[in-house]
Amino acid sequence: MTLRLTRRLGLRLRFALFFAALGLGGVGLIGAGLWFGYLRGGGPVDGYVIGGMIAALGVLGLSAWIGLLFDENVARPILALASDLTTRARADVDLQIDEGQAKHLGTLAPAANAINAALSEARAARARAVARETARIAREKALFEALFRDLGEGAVVATPDNRVMLYNRMAQELLPRIGLDRPLDAVLRPEPVADALRRVEEARIKGRATAETFLAASADGRRFLQGRVTPIVSDEELSGHVLIFRDATDDLRAHAEQAHLFNTLLEGVRRPAGTIAALLDVLETGGDLPPEARAGFRKGISEEIARLFKVIDSTAAEQAAATSRRWPVSAVAVSHIFDAVRARKALSVTATPSDAMVACDGFAMAALLSRLIERLSESGTREGFALAAEGEGAETRLVLGWQGEVATDGEIMGWLSAPLSPAYGHYSGRDALDAHQSTIWAEGQGRSHRIVLPLPSASAPLAPGDPRPEFYDFNLPPAPNAEVAARDLSELSFVVFDTETTGLSPRGGDEIVQIAGLRIVNGRILRGETFDSLVNPGRPIPPASTRVHHITDAMVEGAPDIRDVGRRFHDFCQGSVLVAHNAPFDLAFLRLKEDVIARRFDNPVLCTVLMSAGLFGHTGQHTLDALCARFGITIPAQARHTAMGDTVATAEVFVRMLALLRDRGVTTLGGAIAEEGRMTKIRKAQAY
């Protein structure tokens, strides 16, 4: 009983009770002494009473004064040292403890720093040992990431209850809303996949581990994906399944176009062919037809033949257009095309550096330019060949320039009529231009001439070396089977978010100008799964607010409004606990717009201000800057007071707080919310 009572009472309260008991005990002893003196010495009672009251008040005042000094110089510094030691032990913080806060505790603060240094050294030694033991695993992991991430097909590994625990970059490109621990049906229409999984399970029960195919639409209906699903069986139990898929949207569209072209051609040919056959039959059987009638029939046959050729030509043109759209192109750096041309030893050509990207078959374009340079240089009357790129609207024009004799369009097209390369068979430069729906022309004046090749511009793809270490997690917690409040904090996914606004009064007409969010799954910050969008507030941004977050009216002029951004952010937060620094402020702006957004932000919410007040009650400093300093987190100056910068900082703080909460016995969401509720009154007196 005494131990439980001690745990419930804080250190400062216990010291206060100690000095109160000391003061009351002193008063009791003074009263007893005076009473004993009165019994032995006698005399007027008033003198004893007055003396006793003065002595009692003095003892109580002295006890209170010494108690306050003890609280200021002993109790609070002890709590600060304990908090710092706990933070460094549980949150992996290696900062030195400030000994100045415990200057009246003698060697206790240096001893705490010695413990902290020993802890840091032990942690470093452990890290070195773990690094040595896991070097081989790290190499295998890097190999796995490189192989899997850059597969040409989309790949997803899902848990038995269809939550994502691995995906690659192609899957992210095809299904932009995919994310760790998100349900598959959030990105894929579930029926075809569920049917394939049913067939997989039936085969597994029969002892066969086979792959089943599926054709499913993305959740937004914009893409059709063709793929296969394979079970993952471990110790005769289903551990999940792998989905490998590719974009079949163009294939289906091409199939539909081909079917349409065939039907159009069939209908267009049937009538003229029937008419021609009928007219020819009349001409053959009508030997006594007058010349005028026979001429009319011949004219009719000519007209139907012309109509027939028109149908054939039109269909051929549509077929060519459809084929050109199917030509395999990708985003290619112009510099890579130029490097391929210059790599040919027989060619002498310079190239102007360019960062442009074009959508094309890079090998075909390099071969085409090389062929042109070879033919231009054969005459010996041209020199100074140079390659450059020029932007023109949605196009990037590859330019081959030279000095000397002009080259006519006829010569150029003649050079391109030969096969480009043995790798392409009979495929010529002219075929390549037709396939890319492009052309080529010569222009120039005097001795300066050039050939221009226009190609569609493209954006740079995700580079293979881009770090994305959060695309898989094989240790996802099991599917939730309890009330949200009773679930362990380690089983939850979180969205840490922050908003920037036109001002501080949501009910006074201020609006959101930026929202940023960052997911935390399984205790890891997923830096590859973020939300960041400017918002058009529909009103001017005051200069005072712009000085804080640096967002101007010009920046949000073309941005979407809160209805669009709010819906996308709501989808991003689906199934997650919301976390923010001073969450009531940010949520007030969102909840006031729920009718406009047509979505309810009814997710559970945690606030790092209240969490800090509960964890570090000995201090009144709970600002984001103060918390970052406590945990050794650095916020770049250019990122502070930006939505994403503050979001990242809050996320870093939050994951460290989770460890401290668990150390205090707070392991469930309900427990964390209850702890916040206990601090609500304290929050009003704190700076944040």
- Tell me which residues are annotated as active site: 641
Cβ(28)–Cβ(52) under 8 Å?
Answer: no
Identify each DSSP E strand in 535-595 by its residue range: 577-580
SS3 state at 559: coil
- Which residue do the tokens 């390369």 mark? 421
For residue 635, CA distances in Å to 495, 606, 650 come to 19, 22, 10
Distance, in Å, from the CA atom of 146 to the CA atom of 165, rounded to the nearest integer, reads 17
The secondary structure of residue 221, as a DSSP letter, is S
CA 372 to chain centre: 45
Give the pair of three-digit tokens for residue 234.
């471990």
SS3 state at 45: helix
Distance, in Å, from the CA atom of 196 to the CA atom of 198, rounded to the nearest integer, reads 5
- What is the identity of the amino acid at 429? G
Question: What strands, in cross-sheet order, belong to the sheet with 395-404?
Answer: 350-351, 382-392, 395-404, 448-456, 441-445
Instruction: Select from 577, 583, 572 the least CA-distant residue to 530.
Output: 572
Q: Count the alpha carbons within 13 Å of 632 in the hemisphere toward its beta carbon.
A: 11
Distance, in Å, from the CA atom of 619 to the CA atom of 551, rounded to the nearest integer, reads 33
The secondary structure of residue 551, as a DSSP letter, is -
Give the pair of three-digit tokens for residue 638.
């250019």
Cβ(389)–Cβ(396) under 8 Å?
Answer: yes
Give the pair of three-digit tokens for residue 30.
């003074």
Cβ(461)–Cβ(331) under 8 Å?
Answer: yes
Instruction: Select from 224, 111, 103, 102 the least CA-distant residue to 174.
Output: 224
- List Cβ neighbours of 196 (8 Å cut-off, separation of 6 or more): 212, 213, 214, 228, 229
The residues pairing with 388 across neighbouring beta strands, listed in sequence order, are 399
- Which residue do the tokens 């006829």 mark? 410
- What is the identity of the amino acid at 636? P
Identify each DSSP E strand in 78-218 by its residue range: 154-158, 164-167, 212-217
For residue 271, CA distances in Å to 219, 266, 318 come to 44, 9, 20
Q: Is 441 exposed, middle or buried (0-12, 13-18, 19+ CB in 10 A)?
A: exposed
**One-character DSSP codes across 239-283:** EEEEEEEEE-HHHHHHHHHHHHHHHHHHHHHHHHHHHHHHHHHHH
- List Cβ neighbours of 534 (8 Å cut-off, separation of 6 or more): 513, 514, 551, 555, 556, 559
Torsion-angle region of residue 208: left (phi > 0), alpha (psi -120 to 50) or beta? beta
- How many other β-carbons are positioned within 10 Å of the β-carbon of residue 408? 9
